Amino acid sequence: MELNNLGKKELVKLIKDAENKIVALDNKQFDDAYLEIAAIAKKVGLTIQELEEHGINRKLNKVKAKAAIKYQNKDNLEETWTGRGKQPGWVKRELEAGKNLEDFLIA
């Protein structure tokens, strides 16, 4: 097709036809994906809605495991530290007083 030989109306129609074709291709891509997902859901006995809810809840309900306590102040058993992040004040004070971090390891 030689664009130089087309008039304004023909070019406008060509653009509109191309835009409609792009929309149709996009819709087909979504339709194909939807049907594939629906088939997988049906195969495992679920609905697409159930899968979607699970996906949303999975992100919201992730449980982060707490790090185990690795260090404890022998003088105040409530003062503990996992060894991660900034050193708590009690650790800094004890280290400045000449003690070693190993002195507070929980056996």
Please tell me the total count of domains within the chain. Answer: 2
Classify residue 79: in a domain, yes or no.
Answer: yes
Q: Which domain holds residue 42?
A: 3-60
- Are 79 and 98 in a shared domain? yes
pLDDT value, residue 57: 83
- Are 54 and 97 in a shared domain? no
Classify residue 34: in a domain, yes or no.
Answer: yes
Strand partners, 71: 81, 105
pLDDT value, residue 59: 72
Confidence of residue 2 (pLDDT cuts 50, 70, 90): confident
Confidence of residue 3 (pLDDT cuts 50, 70, 90): confident
- Are 53 and 82 in a shared domain? no
Classify residue 14: in a domain, yes or no.
Answer: yes
- Are 38 and 18 in a shared domain? yes
- Are 56 and 76 in a shared domain? no
Confidence of residue 42 (pLDDT cuts 50, 70, 90): very high
pLDDT in tens, 43-101: 999 999 998 888 888 877 777 778 899 999 998 999 999 999 999 999 999 999 999 99
CA 91, 94, 99: angle at the middle one, nearest 5? 115
- Global confidence as pTM: 0.43
pLDDT value, residue 72: 95
- Are 53 and 76 in a shared domain? no
- Are 17 and 56 in a shared domain? yes
How many other CB atoms sit within 10 Å of the CB of residue 2? Answer: 5
Classify residue 66: in a domain, yes or no.
Answer: no
